[in-house]
Amino acid sequence: MSEGPEKPDQSTKPKAEASGKPATPPKKGWSNPALRAMGIPRISLPSRNWMIFWTALAGITGGIAYDKYQQKQIRKKYMQQVEQMSQEIYTADRVPRRLTVFIAPPPNDFLQESLKHFRRYVKPVLNAAAIDFTVFTEERQGDIRTEVAGKIRQLRKERLEAKRIEEERLKQEAYDKSWKKFFTESVPKTVKGLVSKEEEPEVFVSRQDLYSSTDLLGLYKVIEPIKCERDDSKDVVLAGGVLCIGRGTYKEYLTGVHEGLLGPLDAPPPPPPEPKQLDEVLGENKEKSESETPLAVPAADSPAVEKPEGASVPTLDSVTSPEGDATKTDKPEEKSEADDIDDFGSNIEKSKLPPVPKPYISPSEYAQASLAPELNMDEIVRNDKNVPVLFEQPIGVFTVPKLSGVLNIPTKIYRYYTKRYLAEDVAQQTLEAVYGHSRPYDKMDRFLAAEEELDWPKKWIERGKKKNSEWVQELEVDPRVIQRMRVFSKSEKNEGGEQSDAPNKQ
């Protein structure tokens, strides 16, 4: 007999078949014999949960990478526009233009935030154009105002001193040519010299008055002295420039300019203390008399004293020593110091720094004050290097967006993913400052970067109003001051989308 086909073993049937459930279909995928020979398993799509995870991760990281890439491209574009300015050759007798940059930290934050904003968006364009700049930072409110006002007051004092010296020189020249000197000094001196010949005392003169180091080396005997000429002195419109990083910085700068031009040269005397009311004086005397009255403690041998109902006898626990009173009085002061939060998030030891001087003039006194009588305001005011002074140079204001708070997290996320738009705006403003495109100051320009105040913490604003902070007050300007100022602004070419040309150098 021939053997038939072997029957399949019933024990090898899948458990799913035995239980009556349908078998799980094999996972879809793709494979290749060559890959299987190399030990690579079947290639298949990940599960639904893994797909969600990788999609979310790719979206988050891709958005950040794309935004940073666009920022880099924007910086590269504007740096290429001003690159030709850095290739210009400067001889030994030519000094490049210089900008002044004022930087202050955002409210309730650190100075590093504003410096990061400057280094990331403004500084690359300035470096690409080979523009020189000086940076002034502050850690406390009022430092920038004090610095600007102090420079202007110093200029006024120098001009006043120069005017006094010139008047004395003219008086001396007139006296030397007068007959009064001839009869009172020249004639007696001549007669005295004829009668008695006395040796004149030896007069010592400083070496610096006789010659300089260049005269000693004989350098300028062969080569003519180099007379440096600054680019800032050629054209008033293209002279220097002031960049204010932040709305608060701009407020302090303008307030400092008004204080320097309209305020007095010396600090006003402190106001007299307000007279105390009669009730306050009587209350202080009563407290003082009560504190000086000693509390008697009855001895053990003394007879008991009857006390009226409702009266209490002080015990030793209730009687405190002077040290205890001092510690109790010091506690509220420590609490008040703890409650007094700093204007900025800096960790500097402010006790070691001198206090910020108060303004020499308030905005309400601008109209009655005279405009710097020591300076000639009929023409452009220049310093000893023939460069227009600080308040004669154009201004540029840059917004520093900084949000805080849990409720603002969605807005912060959106801004984090769209920093390329901020980079575009700041680079465009910097480009106008590099090219020197400016226009006359308008009264509405006092609201420049005012949108930044919407991001300031409300608690910080309330605390600033209690402290009478300069940042939270409304910015007041005087027409006599702002009519001399200019503002960096977009030109018609740049607004039309065309590339702006660099100003012609004289």
Q: Could you report the per-residue pLDDT of 325-353, keeping only the tens digit for each?
A: 444 444 444 444 334 445 555 555 556 77
pTM of the prediction? 0.74
For residue 393, tell me if it sits in a domain: yes
User: CB under 8 Å, gap of 24 or more: what pairs does 367-371 form?
Assistant: 367/478, 369/262, 369/263, 370/262, 371/261, 371/262, 371/480, 371/481
Arithmetic mean of pLDDT, 409-428: 94
Lowest-confidence pick of 36-45, 207-216, 341-350: 341-350
- 323 within domain boundaries: no
> Is residue 6 in a domain?
no
The verdict on residue 324 lying in a domain is no
**Is 335 within a domain?**
no
pLDDT of the residue at 280: 62
Task: Select the highest-mean-pLDDT range: 16-30, 271-285, 406-420.
Answer: 406-420
Q: Which two tokens stand for residue 145?
A: 């105002």
- pLDDT above 70 coverage of the chain, percent: 73
Q: Which domain holds residue 402?
A: 99-162+236-265+351-494
Residue type, 217: L
pLDDT digits (tens, 9 = 90+) for 152-208: 999 999 999 988 898 888 888 887 888 777 777 777 777 776 666 666 677 788 877
DSSP sequence for 370-408: ---TTS-TTS--B-TTS-B-GGGS-EEEE------SSTT
Report yes or no on 503 lying in a domain.
no
pLDDT digits (tens, 9 = 90+) for 292-329: 555 444 444 444 444 444 444 444 344 444 444 444 44
Give buried/exposed letters for 227-246 (b at 16+ CB in 10 A, else e): eeebbbbeebebbbbbbbbb
Our count of domains for the chain comes to: 1
Going by the DSSP 8-state scheme, the letter that residue 478 receives in this structure is -
Percent helix, percent strand, percent coil in the chain, to nearest 5? 50, 5, 45
pLDDT at 410 over 90: yes
Most confident of the ranges 19-23, 29-33, 495-499:
29-33
Contact 398/243 with Cβ under 8 angstroms? yes
Residue 409 pLDDT level (bands cut at 50, 70, 90): very high
Identity (one letter) of the amino acid at 71?
A: Q
Q: Which helix (H) or strand (E) holds 95?
A: strand 94-95
Q: Which secondary structure element, helix H or strand E, spans residue 492, and what is its range?
A: helix 492-495
Q: Which has the higher per-residue pLDDT, 39 or 462?
A: 462
255 pLDDT more than 80: yes
Residue 480 placed within a domain: yes
Choose among 375, 313, 337: nearest CA to 154: 375
Torsions phi, psi for 158 (to 5 deg)? -65, -40
Structural domain contains residue 216: no
Side-chain-side CA neighbours of 14 within 13 Å: the count stands at 7
pLDDT score, position 302: 45
